[in-house]
Structure 1
């Protein structure tokens, strides 16, 4: 049986971010606006995606903006809940965890248009696996235990299909990230894997996976997923400037096109906590949220 993920861990880098922010205030220097993201892909890919967005936000906010990586999903939740960062990229489930961890003091600002109808895919190299039911008695890799599209929703849809991962599968593994899940399937470490559809499509487009070898055998129904979230104590004027900065991004400008393509977004749209109630319900039903 899966256990709820502990959110009490602090990473050294998050602690460093807090100390650095405190030091800057004590010295009377300009406060740095700090941003983090759940590590759902490799650190190099996350840093590549973040760089032009951080530069753009600096221009729009008129403040120094720094991207602070964290080692796991729980650390991203802790960093925002404790105001060690000002803005965090969350999946739907990590947003729900942050909302719980902070006592309801986090606010989702925007999501990609794609996140209104997000999906997960199940992939395999095994010709005998054609449906979710075919996974019984086999090995499966999810991503991180706190991942919405790499664990929570795939688990939820498996349960709905009458497949209990903890009872009906030979072994369940957690790769930690979507691209790592595909690598585990491709190398034969597991029979199948579940991951975020946009990462899958990007891996195929970049020829980092051979779809003739690793194939999708099930695509889930849509659900709400990722968002950019701030702490409720971020001053309203700054929150409004930040939201407008995301909403103003469009593919008509070179800068906007680069950022949106890296974020795998058509555009950003406003979001609200109510969008993630189904995620919270799925987490409780799967025993992943206390």
Structure 2
């Protein structure tokens, strides 16, 4: 009676196990070769896609991996996507960054911001000739952007409260348009008496001839505050985080690719940022009752 070749059987089993493990690891590695990027939907989806396309191609070159833009339905979805590991990097406003920081128990990290975001501003606009200062908004109808927008809601509300104007108690009606360009449309179309939005979108719409500044005018511009940034989770591979940061910092308007990307991002250049820069935003949100 011949004895089975246990050594041969064991080798075959070992080979099969190693092969299966290799396939599984290859699958994980492949999954990790896609950087999933999103942005708060503060403009129309088509505009966000247009702005991101050249940046995505540039990041693919610098990182050596696929970069995929994942649109989200609202501001809250951008926060949940990053916190729940469905997104790897998100373009946040200051307030959504604070929300993500709190929601994740400090497990998100802002890596870069535009130079313009060190002293970002909001503008208040109207077509009503009787409105010339914040106090004139009492008894009027008004539009913010999204409820989670820094420059379209939180900071405008903060400056209104500082001027002793309560949007909820002193205004006739308050609406949320959902996006900065939608706020301009609401004011221009006479749906509300006035509104607030970020100065960057306002200047872009003026430059594109999409709004007539003689009809829709700015009557108040806020002081500066920290706003937008690119944020990643703190558990991102440090080498990948450094590559991402370096890629943004290397963007330069003197070459054609850098110029196109920076213009679409409405940026002079990108600079490093840190969590502490957004303490003013968190304080304003708590004072306005928007953070529990």
Residue 26 of structure 1 and its aligned partner are, at CA, apart by 4.2
Structure 2 residue runs without a partner (length 5+): 1-23
Structure 2 counterparts to residues 173-192 of structure 1, below 5 A: 173-192=175-194
Tell which structure's C-alpha radius of gyration is larger: 2
How far, CA to CA, are the matches of 1:34 and 1:242 in structure 2? 13
Q: Does 1:93 align with 2:95?
A: yes
Name whichever structure is richer in helix by fraction.
Answer: 2
How far, CA to CA, are the matches of 1:65 and 1:128 in structure 2? 49
Backbone CA RMSD of aligned residues: 1.3
Instruction: Tell me the equivalent position of 1:151.
Output: 153
Q: Deviation string for 1:239-258 (max 9, x for gaps)?
A: 00000000000101100000
SS across alignment from 2:85: coil
How far, CA to CA, are the matches of 1:136 and 1:107 in structure 2? 39
Q: Structure 1 residues 265 and 25 mapped into 2: Cα distance closer, same or farther (>3 Å)?
A: farther
SS across alignment from 2:168: helix
How far, CA to CA, are the matches of 2:89 and 2:28 in structure 1? 23
Instruction: Tell me the equivalent position of 2:206.
Output: 204
Q: Does 1:238 align with 2:247?
A: no
How far, CA to CA, are the matches of 1:172 and 1:191 in structure 2? 10
Q: What is the TM-score of this pair, normalised by structure 2?
A: 0.90
Q: What is the TM-score of this pair, normalised by structure 1?
A: 0.91
Q: Deviation string for 1:217-251 (max 9, x for gaps)?
A: 00000000000000000010100000000000010
How far, CA to CA, are the matches of 1:27 and 1:128 in structure 2? 62
How far, CA to CA, are the matches of 1:277 and 1:167 in structure 2? 27
How far, CA to CA, are the matches of 1:182 and 1:25 in structure 2? 49
Structure 1 residue runs without a partner (length 5+): 1-22
SS across alignment from 2:197: strand
Runs of 4+ in 1 over 3 A off after TM superposition: 23-28
Instruction: Tell me the equivalent position of 1:29.
Output: 30
How far, CA to CA, are the matches of 1:189 and 1:209 in structure 2? 15
SS across alignment from 2:175: strand
Q: Does 1:263 align with 2:245?
A: no
